[in-house]
Amino acid sequence: MPTETKTFSVESGHDTDIINITGQVSKAVAESKINSGIATIFVTGSTAGVTTTEFEPNLNEDLKKAIERIVPSNVEYKHSETWGDDNGKSHVRSSLFKPSFTVPFNDKKLLLGAWQQIILLDFDVPARRREIIVQIVGD
């Protein structure tokens, strides 16, 4: 089965930045030689994750508040004893969201719902550049 791998980078802010990457993923699929199949979206690194949601400012704030309640910033994480980088919460948060997921596509178009966008969640403390890999498989 034919496979293509595309990559792109995004600049993130710091400490739970939410970035809509639907356009970049759609472009990768549209520019591939594959018409129908699945696209796996993967973010490299251990302090970020990808998922889908409605990308809307108030919902983004709700999501950030929910993440803060589940994995609070104001507690001590043992990871800081290892590296002293104060990003233990970032690793725990990314473990809950996972680094990849798969979206089907047909006629080079992602099969997402009307209000469903693909988002990158960067949980690390400093702002940084994130590499996203899109692996496209199909016919």
pLDDT at 81: 86
Distance from first CA to last CA of the chain, Å, rounded? Answer: 7
Other CB atoms within 10 A of residue 73 CB:
14
Per-residue pLDDT of the chain (139 residues; tens, 9 = 90+): 999 999 999 999 988 999 999 999 999 999 999 999 999 999 999 999 999 999 999 999 999 999 999 999 999 999 988 988 889 999 999 999 999 999 999 999 999 999 999 999 999 999 999 999 999 999 9
CATH number of the domain where residue 107 is located = 2.60.120.460
Paired residues of 42 in beta bridges: 100, 133
Tokens of 19: 């970035």
Q: What is residue 20's three-state secondary structure?
A: strand
The pTM score is 0.96
> What domain range is 131 assigned to?
3-138
| Phi, then psi, of 82 in degrees rounded to 5 | -75, -50
Number of domains in the chain: 1
Q: With b meaning 16 or more CB within 10 Å and e meaning fewer, what string describes 51-64?
A: bbbebeeeebeebe
pLDDT at 14: 86
